[in-house]
């Protein structure tokens, strides 16, 4: 007697998990990286708090790290705050496009500088950028330009710069840098007749006042919206975050579709009630990160403030009509203790 065995091979199809950004069904092996609600470039938390697991796929995580967070952490207002808080890694971005810092006054007025690191004095060290300065006959001052921004000789003369009798200031290291800028200017029709017409400033010493022009472009806006959306998924969970009503902001974050102003508001009042009162004295309760999320009618909104500095508002949707999920949450990320704590909400009539 033979007993017949029939073998049934059941191929278990891996249960796919949808990524909250690309919405693709992916297996667990595509979720190896941890997605930090607040990028680690803004400080590492002591415990595994404010981390999304198996919710943001590795492809999206990698894309965000390379194409968005790099600039959000190093080429933004928050990037300067990060330097001020001495958060590592310190290496500055070689080519910053969104921050233009210039010496505010004195002999070096207008000179373009780059913030480097926090010095022992508690101030930020700056270094000179590669640049050329031209004497403006109208203002009686030098204006400086980085290589890509240097106008042609014709444009400079047209705008009232004196190229004939005034020295051109070349700010460059000897060697490669110097040769590069001379050659570049030559291609723009600007020729230096003799070495005497170049000037180099010595190293910047002492305290100087620097004024920074900061551009919040789409990349930075997408980065800020992503922090808020990560937090939303952290609080509300994957399935709610996948609701198609949130597709516009999802596509803005992932593909840059749409207009940033539709999702992000800049310069909101401080998140903490006490900070609203302290603002006029130039003081604040914390220099840590703050983030909240909650409903405002049928709008789902988040408030975000890195280093409790600028406060942004992020709107996820403005006409929600599906199954409503109660969401009202806030967290504080203390940069000194590395602890993340929940914020306590009090209704207004309980406040003094
Ligand atoms: Zn994805």
- Residues 254-298: pLDDT tens digits? 999 999 999 999 988 888 888 877 777 777 888 999 999 999 988
SS3 36: strand
Which 8-state DSSP code applies to residue 145? E
pLDDT in the model for residue 55: 96
Determine the distance separating the centroid of ligand 1 and the alpha carbon of 247, expressed in angstroms: 13
Q: How many Å apart are CA 211 and CA 106, to the nearest integer? A: 13
Distances (CA, A) of 119 to 81, 86, 100, 108, 122: 14, 9, 20, 21, 6
* % residues pLDDT > 90 (the chain): 56
Q: Is the dihedral of CA 284, 290, 294, 296 positive or negative?
A: positive
Supply the angle between the helices 247-255 and 218-236 in degrees, to the nearest 10: 130
Determine the distance separating the centroid of ligand 1 and the alpha carbon of 216, expressed in angstroms: 25
**Which residues face 136 on adjacent strands?**
141, 161
Determine the distance separating the centroid of ligand 1 and the alpha carbon of 176, expressed in angstroms: 43
pLDDT in the model for residue 332: 94
Determine the distance separating the centroid of ligand 1 and the alpha carbon of 236, expressed in angstroms: 18
Determine the distance separating the centroid of ligand 1 and the alpha carbon of 23, expressed in angstroms: 6
pLDDT in the model for residue 196: 47
pLDDT in the model for residue 4: 59
Using alpha carbons, select from 324, 303, 325, 317 the residue that is nearest to residue 249: 317
**What's the rounded mean pLDDT across residues 188-205?**
66
Band (pLDDT 50/70/90 cuts) for residue 11 is very low
Determine the distance separating the centroid of ligand 1 and the alpha carbon of 54, expressed in angstroms: 10
Whether residue 89 is preceded by a cis peptide bond, meaning omega within 30 degrees of 0, is yes
Q: Which of 59-73, 157-171, 203-217 is the most confident on average? A: 59-73
Determine the distance separating the centroid of ligand 1 and the alpha carbon of 21, expressed in angstroms: 5
Neighbours of ion ligand 1 (CB under 5 A): 19, 21-22, 57, 60
Q: How many Å apart are CA 174 and CA 160, to the nearest integer? A: 29
Q: Bigger pLDDT: 306 or 205?
A: 306
**Residues contacting residue 171 through CB under 8 Å, at least 6 positions apart:** 111, 112, 128, 129, 130, 131, 132, 133, 144, 200, 201
299-337 confidence digits (pLDDT tens) = 999 999 999 999 999 999 988 887 778 889 999 999 999
Q: How many Å apart are CA 260 and CA 228, to the nearest integer? A: 14
Determine the distance separating the centroid of ligand 1 and the alpha carbon of 298, expressed in angstroms: 27
29-38 confidence digits (pLDDT tens) = 999 999 999 9
9 has pLDDT over 60 = no
Determine the distance separating the centroid of ligand 1 and the alpha carbon of 228, expressed in angstroms: 17
88-113 confidence digits (pLDDT tens) = 777 777 778 899 999 998 888 999 99
Q: What is the mean pLDDT of the chain?
A: 87
Determine the distance separating the centroid of ligand 1 and the alpha carbon of 31, expressed in angstroms: 9
pLDDT in the model for residue 278: 77
6 has pLDDT over 60 = no
Determine the distance separating the centroid of ligand 1 and the alpha carbon of 269, expressed in angstroms: 33
Using alpha carbons, select from 223, 253, 222 the residue that is nearest to residue 20: 253
Determine the distance separating the centroid of ligand 1 and the alpha carbon of 61, expressed in angstroms: 7
Determine the distance separating the centroid of ligand 1 and the alpha carbon of 72, expressed in angstroms: 20
Determine the distance separating the centroid of ligand 1 and the alpha carbon of 22, expressed in angstroms: 4
Determine the distance separating the centroid of ligand 1 and the alpha carbon of 249, expressed in angstroms: 14
pLDDT in the model for residue 14: 47
Helices (H), strands (E): how many in the chain?
9, 19
Tell me the pTM. Answer: 0.84
Q: How many Å apart are CA 244 and CA 250, to the nearest integer? A: 9
């Amino acid at each position: 007697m033979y007993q017949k065995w029939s073998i049934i091979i059941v191929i278990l199809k891996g249960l796919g998990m949808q990524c909250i950004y690309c919405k693709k069904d992916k297996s667990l092996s595509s979720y190896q990286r941890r997605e930090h609600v607040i990028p680690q470039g803004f400080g590492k938390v002591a415990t595994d708090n404010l981390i999304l697991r198996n919710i943001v796929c590795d492809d999206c995580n990698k894309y965000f790290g390379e194409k968005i967070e790099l600039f959000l952490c190093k080429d933004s207002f928050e990037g300067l705050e990060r330097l001020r808080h001495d958060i590592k890694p310190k290496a500055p971005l070689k080519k910053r496009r969104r921050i233009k810092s210039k010496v505010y006054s004195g002999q070096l007025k207008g000179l373009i500088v780059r913030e480097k690191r926090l010095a022992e004095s508690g101030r930020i060290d700056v270094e000179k950028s590669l640049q050329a300065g031209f004497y403006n006959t109208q203002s009686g001052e030098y204006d400086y330009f980085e290589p890509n921004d240097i106008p042609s000789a014709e444009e400079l003369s047209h705008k009232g710069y004196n190229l004939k009798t005034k020295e051109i200031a070349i700010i460059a290291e000897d060697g490669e840098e110097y040769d590069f800028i001379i050659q570049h200017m030559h291609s723009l029709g600007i020729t230096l007749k003799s070495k005497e017409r170049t000037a180099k400033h010595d190293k910047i010493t002492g305290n100087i006042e620097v004024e920074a022009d900061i551009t919040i472009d789409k990349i930075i806006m997408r980065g800020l919206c992503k922090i808020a959306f990560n937090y939303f998924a952290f609080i509300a969970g994957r399935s709610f975050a996948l609701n198609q009503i949130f597709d516009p902001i999802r596509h803005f974050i992932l593909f840059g579709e749409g207009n940033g102003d539709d999702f992000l508001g800049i310069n909101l009042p401080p998140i903490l009630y006490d900070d609203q009162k302290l603002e006029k004295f130039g003081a604040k309760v914390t220099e840590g990160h703050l983030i909240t999320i909650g409903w405002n009618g049928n709008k789902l909104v988040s408030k975000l403030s890195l280093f409790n500095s600028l406060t942004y508002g992020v709107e996820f949707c403005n006409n929600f009509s599906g199954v409503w999920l109660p969401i009202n949450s806030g967290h504080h990320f203390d940069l000194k203790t590395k602890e993340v704590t929940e914020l306590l909400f009090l209704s207004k009539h309980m406040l003094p």
